[in-house]
A = this chain, B = another copy of it.
Amino acid sequence: MTDLPYHHGKLREALLARATEIIEGVGVEGLSLRQLARDLGVSHAAPGKHFRDKQALLDGLALDGFRSMNARITAASEADGDHRARFVRIAQAYVDFAVSHPVLLTVMHSTKHHPDASDELRNIGEDGIRIARALIAEAQDAGELASGDVESLALVCFVSLHGAALLAAGNLLDGASVDDLTFATTELLWAGMVAGVPAPAETRDGTSGRRLR
């Protein structure tokens, strides 16, 4: 029985690590600061020294989550292959992350826009779309994709894959395999970008025919 030192030393990291385990196991609502403290053999108020309140802890988790996710996506975007292959790989990286850390993902997104989130937290979610934007612009320049509003296309791709990731993470695709869905989604998006969207004048959708931006 080596008696524990008065100071834990790495409480902050330990809290984040243990909290990550817990939320993936029992969900955010099952996360208790006091239980967390007990798990780490520390007094119930100790977490308060590192995270002012529960939300601050969740913010910390979200930040770590974004860092880790962005690293994976960036790595995927830098692999070799043609534009389309990289597009698919980026999508897979995103969806894989979502499936591996479903609860974390919801924490990340529910946290990102609450009033007093840190600047870093508010900006770090944009990496994914930046990467998509760059890739699409490149592919357009290479003549592989029809020309079109890069900003809008990147946003649409991001949003679509986000949906796939969330549904996959939430286990809402009863039969379908996640990989198949991811692939089908990239396939359809890419096909749309290859074909290009109809010129604004031709759109006849019953609405005002407005364009993005």
Query: Of B82, B153, B166, B176, which one neighbours A162 at CB under 8 angstroms?
Result: B166
Least CB separation from A203: chain B residue:
B187
Given the interface contacts A188-B192, A207-B183, does A212 sit within 8 Å of B166 by beta carbon? no
| B-contacting 9-mer, from A1-9, A16-24, A63-71, A84-92 | A84-92
Contact yes or no, B172 A125, CB < 8 A: yes
Contact yes or no, B109 A172, CB < 8 A: yes
| B-contacting 9-mer, from A34-42, A44-52, A193-201 | A193-201
A135 CB within 8 Å of chain B: no
A188, A194, A196: which has the most chain B beta carbons within 10 Å?
A: A188
Report A153-176 CB contacts with B as 1/0, cut-off 8 Å: 101100111111111001111001
Q: Which residues of B contact A164 (CB under 8 A)?
A: 156, 159-160, 163
Q: Which residues of B contact A166 (CB under 8 A)?
A: 109, 162-163, 166
Contact yes or no, B185 A156, CB < 8 A: yes
Given the interface contacts A192-B189, A207-B88, does A155 sit within 8 Å of B184 by beta carbon? yes
Rounded to whole angstroms, the CA-CA distance of A206 and B206 in the bound complex is 40
Chain A residues within 8 Å of B, Cβ to Cβ: 29, 81-82, 84-85, 88-89, 92, 106, 109-110, 112-113, 125, 149, 152-153, 155-156, 159-167, 170-173, 176-177, 179-181, 183-198, 203-207, 210-213
Q: Which 9 residue pairs across A and B have the least CB separation, nearest first?
A: A163-B163, A192-B192, A160-B160, A195-B195, A85-B206, A162-B163, A191-B192, A188-B192, A180-B212
18 A-B pairs (CB sep. < 8 Å): A81-B206, A106-B106, A109-B170, A113-B170, A113-B172, A152-B184, A156-B164, A156-B184, A159-B160, A159-B164, A160-B164, A163-B166, A183-B207, A183-B210, A188-B192, A191-B196, A194-B195, A195-B195
